Copies of this chain bind each other. A is one copy, B any other.
Amino acid sequence: MPVTTTRPSDRPAAQDFATVFARLKPHMGALDVFLRNQLAAFEPEIREMADYCIDTSGKRIRPALVFLSGWSGDGTASTDLVRVAAVVELVHLATLVHDDIMDEANMRRSRQTASRQYGPEAAVLLGDALFAHALHLASQFPTTEVCLEVSNSTRKVCAGEIVQTLRRGTTNITRQDYFRVIDLKTAELFRLSCFLGSKLAGFPLAFVEDSSRFGRHLGIAYQIYDDLADFFGQEKSIGKTLGTDLVSGKVTLPLLALLDRLPAEERAGLVDEILGRRQPDLPGRLRQMGEHGIFAAVGEEVESELLKAEAALVPHGGLPPVPLLRQLCDTLRYRVGNLRP
């Protein structure tokens, strides 16, 4: 399928998340108050640890998807949307806490990870407690639907992470494998956020379905961007250690693309680094990625998913959430443009 990276001229200028999120200030404020109030539900010993995780420095992109998909136009956040935003954020935080144990990452959002701060054992259980609390909040809706959807998505997210973990340090991974994993581990929660936001706001079923499709493709695009940023980001601005994917033998799209393009004799060296037989040479690999146009190629994959996301919204141009959701696509384009090849 031919992919264009040209931005249609009727779009507002690309902007950073901060700009789009400015309108969500009251919503995020309400979410923050709500999350802080949840701390009382944890046993005293865990409160500090949970508080450490529920920090305000995260992007909170999943809650934003809830609020934007359920956008009514009057700028206020309903109790239902705030609660469900808390649910998806807590599920996400729980997976981050567990994820950082696997990655042995030291930094996340410019702070020590929970695993580094409290030890991996406590981090396993802290993640569990956050999961459990998310499901507890999900049970507070009048029907079982939210709980059903959230637990189903959570299982998929875990499945994606497991498959990724089992594949770590192996190189016989196809593009299909990669896309399946990110669909499960990232896109599923993006999809869920849009589904629950639009559903709880009472939008027609057709929009609920299409905004879910939007969320899924945005999630895939976002994960590809995130994997690209692991090589081409700036440690300071993305707030975590760079190059962790290569170091931990995780074959993401930039590495897949490089493996694909390297001549056989050079590929062997990279395979050895992924298999952990040889010290990874990050600067050397970045140079090779530059030589083989990896940044542009992976950037086009992001764009391809963003176009699919936007296409899902086309039939619903008149609904209040649509312009805002499209802006999210532009902010991701802007983010990709800000990485340095």
- Chain B nearest CB: distance from A105 CB in Å? 13
Q: Knowing A124-B124, A128-B127, say if A147 contacts B138 (CB, 8 Å).
A: yes
Q: Is the CB of B129 within 8 A of A131?
A: no
- Chain B nearest CB: distance from A200 CB in Å? 15
A133 on interface, CB distance cutoff 8 Å: yes
**Of B43, B135, B143, B156, the contact of A159 (CB 8 Å cutoff):** B43
- A46–B159 Cα distance when bound, in Å, is 7
Which chain A residues in 155-175 approach chain B with CB under 8 Å?
155-156, 158-159, 161-163, 165-166, 168
A148 on interface, CB distance cutoff 8 Å: yes
A179 on interface, CB distance cutoff 8 Å: no
Chain B residues whose CB sits within 8 angstroms of the CB of A142 once the complex forms: 144
**Of B94, B125, B155, the contact of A98 (CB 8 Å cutoff):** B125
- A136–B138 Cα distance when bound, in Å, is 11
Which chain A residues in 119-151 approach chain B with CB under 8 Å?
119, 121-122, 124-129, 131-133, 135-136, 138-144, 147-148, 150-151
Residue of B nearest to A119 (CB): B165
Chain B residues whose CB sits within 8 angstroms of the CB of A186 once the complex forms: none
Residue of B nearest to A153 (CB): B132
**Of B42, B163, B166, the contact of A155 (CB 8 Å cutoff):** B42
A41 on interface, CB distance cutoff 8 Å: yes
Chain B residues whose CB sits within 8 angstroms of the CB of A148 once the complex forms: 136, 139-140
Chain B residues whose CB sits within 8 angstroms of the CB of A125 once the complex forms: 98, 102, 158, 161-162, 165
Which chain A residues in 97-129 approach chain B with CB under 8 Å?
98, 101-102, 119, 121-122, 124-129
Chain B residues whose CB sits within 8 angstroms of the CB of A129 once the complex forms: 155, 158-159, 162
A74 on interface, CB distance cutoff 8 Å: no
- A102–B118 Cα distance when bound, in Å, is 13
Q: Is the CB of A136 within 8 A of B152?
A: yes
- Chain B nearest CB: distance from A244 CB in Å? 14
Q: How many residues of A contact B (CB 8 A)?
A: 49
Residue of B nearest to A156 (CB): B43
A223 on interface, CB distance cutoff 8 Å: no
A154 on interface, CB distance cutoff 8 Å: yes
Q: Is the CB of A136 within 8 A of B162?
A: no
- Chain B nearest CB: distance from A184 CB in Å? 7
Chain B residues whose CB sits within 8 angstroms of the CB of A43 once the complex forms: 156, 159, 162-163, 184
- Chain B nearest CB: distance from A98 CB in Å? 5
A–B pairs, 23, beta carbons within 8 Å:
A43-B156, A43-B159, A43-B163, A45-B159, A45-B163, A46-B158, A46-B159, A98-B128, A101-B124, A102-B121, A102-B124, A122-B166, A126-B158, A128-B128, A128-B131, A128-B154, A128-B161, A129-B158, A131-B131, A138-B147, A139-B147, A142-B144, A143-B144
- Ranked nearest first, the 9 interchain pairs of A and B with the lowest CB-CB distance are A136-B151, A132-B155, A139-B148, A135-B151, A132-B154, A43-B159, A139-B147, A129-B158, A128-B158
Given contacts A43-B184, A128-B128, 17 further A-B contacts (CB under 8 A): A43-B156, A46-B163, A95-B128, A102-B124, A121-B168, A122-B162, A124-B124, A125-B158, A125-B165, A129-B155, A129-B158, A135-B150, A136-B152, A138-B147, A138-B151, A139-B151, A144-B144
